[in-house]
Amino acid sequence: DQQVKQNSPSLSVQEGRISILNCDYTNSMFDYFLWYKKYPAEGPTFLISISSIKDKNEDGRFTVFLNKSAKHLSLHIVPSQPGDSAVYFCAASEYGAQKLVFGQGTRLTINP
Amino acid sequence: EAGVTQSPTHLIKTRGQQATLRCSPISGHTSVYWYQQALGLGLQFLLWYDEGEERNRGNFPPRFSGRQFPNYSSELNVNALELEDSALYLCASSRGGDRPDTQYFGPGTRLTVL
């Protein structure tokens, strides 16, 4: 049962444009969401998180939006830079479950 | 501040052997998590240790086990290795508590089972 889904395995964006990565979840008990970035042969790096009491959180070029009614979150990167090329994972947790549930990841490629 | 460290970087074993993977968390973090990332798949939760105790485990057989030491470092042991155990094993740490706080990952150990 895939509770967190990233339906786009890959995304290609031109440098300077906006990158939008999407994530859907099925468990309505999830109340904390995170985005991680992963380069090859490295561990995932925490990017940004959002609590279910908010619908938006911003950190520099990264903004995460949460739509609880649609059980959907997205990560916006503006402007996209070549160093943003990586695999992006969304993750979710619910209080008491004591684990993070990860999506399958989306490979973002920023083209010059 | 040093990040999460893992050893070894690479590990090659044959089927039926045992593998031991090690992880040192960020200073001040008391929770350690283990994940498996098989080729082409996302991160699958394996184990969560907090304050020396196993708090939760994922849907993996009992031959996957581990422990957390008084200094909060951790070991993951995989017994009776099977070919499908070949994967990147990631360790993460976070501040302790009743829920998984933001987790910080190490570089991983690449386990290859021949």
State whether B100 and A98 contact (CB < 8 Å). yes
pLDDT value of residue B10: 96
| Chain A contact for B55 (CB, 8 A cutoff) | yes
User: What confidence tens digit (pLDDT) does each residue in B53-87 have?
Assistant: 998 899 999 999 999 999 999 999 999 999 999 99
How far, CA to CA in Å, does B53 sit from each of B66, B68, B73, B76? 10, 7, 12, 14
More confident of the two residues B74 and A101: B74
C-alpha B85/C-alpha B100 separation (Å) is: 25
Confidence of residue B101 (pLDDT cuts 50, 70, 90): low
pLDDT value of residue A41: 77
Confidence of residue A99 (pLDDT cuts 50, 70, 90): confident
β-pairing, B109-113 vs B10-13, is parallel
Chain A nearest CA to B102, separation (Å)? 8
Sign of CA dihedral A37, B7, B114, B66: negative
Instruction: For tokens 């017994």, name the residue.
Output: B79
Confidence of residue B99 (pLDDT cuts 50, 70, 90): low
Confidence of residue B103 (pLDDT cuts 50, 70, 90): confident
User: What confidence tens digit (pLDDT) does each residue in B11-66 have?
Assistant: 999 999 999 999 999 999 999 999 999 887 788 999 999 889 998 899 999 999 99
pLDDT at B98 > cutoff 80:
no
User: What confidence tens digit (pLDDT) does each residue in A17-64 have?
Assistant: 999 999 999 999 999 999 999 998 788 998 999 999 999 999 999 999
C-alpha A57/C-alpha A63 separation (Å) is: 6
pLDDT value of residue B100: 56
DSSP states of A5-64 as a string?
E---SEEEEETTS-EEEEEEE--TT--EEEEEEE-TTS--EEEEEEETT-SEEEETTEEE
- The percentage of residues in chain B with a pLDDT greater than 90, rounded to a whole number, is 79
| Chain A contact for B71 (CB, 8 A cutoff) | no
State whether B56 and A105 contact (CB < 8 Å). no
Kindly list the residues from chain A whose CB atom is less than 8 angstroms away from the CB atom of residue B99. Answer: 32, 93, 95-98
